[in-house]
A and B are shown apart, each in its own frame.
Chain A
Amino acid sequence: QKEVEQNSGPLSVPEGAIASLNCTYSDRGSQSFFWYRQYSGKSPELIMFIYSNGDKEDGRFTAQLNKASQYVSLLIRDSQPSDSATYLCADDPGGYQKVTFGIGTKLQVIP
């Protein structure tokens, strides 16, 4: 069975610091990877996707993918209290296979 592993946290960082969220996956055939942000009691929303090895930057967010190591990460620069949420990693094998979500990492940004 495919697995997506995340540390559930909480990960606490001071305001202004870089938050680093990590994810490993078991399916070498996975093609795309997603990072969703979920505020408490709310629904997940997509913040980043990546499908090529290397880094992808969008504002304060950088997604990193290393397919050889089966490792995906999300960096949040200049962390703000509003970034406090649970971050879900998901892998997408493509085609008619379903996406698999990790359990999520809870991030707390301390003012």
Chain B
Amino acid sequence: DADVTQTPRNRITKTGKRIMLECSQTKGHDRMYWYRQDPGLGLRLIYYSFDVKDINKGEISDGYSVSRQAQAKFSLSLESAIPNQTALYFCATSDLSLAGDEQFFGPGTRLTVL
């Protein structure tokens, strides 16, 4: 079974719609992240949470919001989707180890906004 799961895996929506992407993990990690990936731009951090009561903006948080419902769940919302939010979205978790802040990624959600 996957340690980090994302739902949905694919979503096509229209401009102006509200969208929620969900992430769940069974790794027991405190830290969770949301990234988007666009061709030529790499992984860009949207929001991150170091524990249930901690939420921080990343480099591209405008147009997005998040909710950390529990240690295991971190949701990303697009309140009013726009076409330039079309991208591949990854959730990740981490916990400090000998390797540092190694991140474990979910399978990704491909979002298309028409």
A interface residue numbers (CB < 8 A to B): 8, 31-32, 34, 41-46, 49, 51, 88, 90, 92, 94, 96, 98-99, 101-104
Count of chain B residues with a beta carbon within 8 Å of a chain A beta carbon: 23
> A8: nearest residue on chain B (CB-CB)?
B40
Query: Interface on B for A, CB 8 Å cutoff?
Result: 33, 40-43, 45, 48, 50, 56, 58, 88, 90, 94, 99-108
Q: How far is the CA of A42 from the CA of B108 in the complex (A)?
A: 7
Q: What are 26 A-B interface contacts by the 8 Å CB criterion?
A: A32-B101, A34-B103, A41-B88, A41-B108, A42-B107, A43-B106, A43-B107, A44-B43, A44-B105, A46-B99, A46-B104, A49-B99, A49-B100, A49-B102, A88-B42, A90-B103, A96-B50, A99-B94, A99-B101, A99-B103, A101-B42, A101-B43, A102-B42, A103-B40, A103-B41, A104-B42
